[in-house]
Amino acid sequence: MENKLQQLTKKLYDQGLAKGKQDAETMIAQAKQQAHKIVSDATGEARDAGIRAGTVIIEMNNQPVEDVAAFRRILKESAGKDKILVYLRYGEISRYMSLKLK
């Protein structure tokens, strides 16, 4: 009887494990699709604005962008605004650009 109980417990455990693994794989696949769409949309919008790979953001709203934390802070402070002034550098070319915020 105890052996049968162990077998049943193992069977239920294995089924639960398989179901959990399947659910996790589904969630990961969905997250990858969403991430791809976000990156594609952002890449297209950046390209349309004249920003390309290798462009460095020097300032936003006349505040230095030294790292990702500063970038996020300045964006957060700009919430509710229509546009943001950005100073960019690409190679030897530097320029100011007004970017529309969504």
The count of domains in the chain is 2
Domain membership of residue 7 as a residue range: 1-48
Q: Are residues 97 and 57 in the same domain?
A: yes
Q: Are residues 15 and 41 in the same domain?
A: yes
Q: Are residues 68 and 28 in the same domain?
A: no
Would you give per-residue pLDDT tens digits along the chain (102 residues)? 678 888 888 888 888 888 888 988 999 999 888 887 777 776 777 777 777 888 899 999 999 999 989 989 998 999 889 999 999 998 899 999 888 887
Nearest to 96 by CA among 57, 64, 53: 57
Q: Are residues 5 and 44 in the same domain?
A: yes
Q: Are residues 56 and 98 in the same domain?
A: yes
Residue 77 maps to which CATH number? Answer: 2.30.42.10
Tell me if residue 20 falls in helix, strand or coil.
Answer: helix
pTM of the model: 0.55
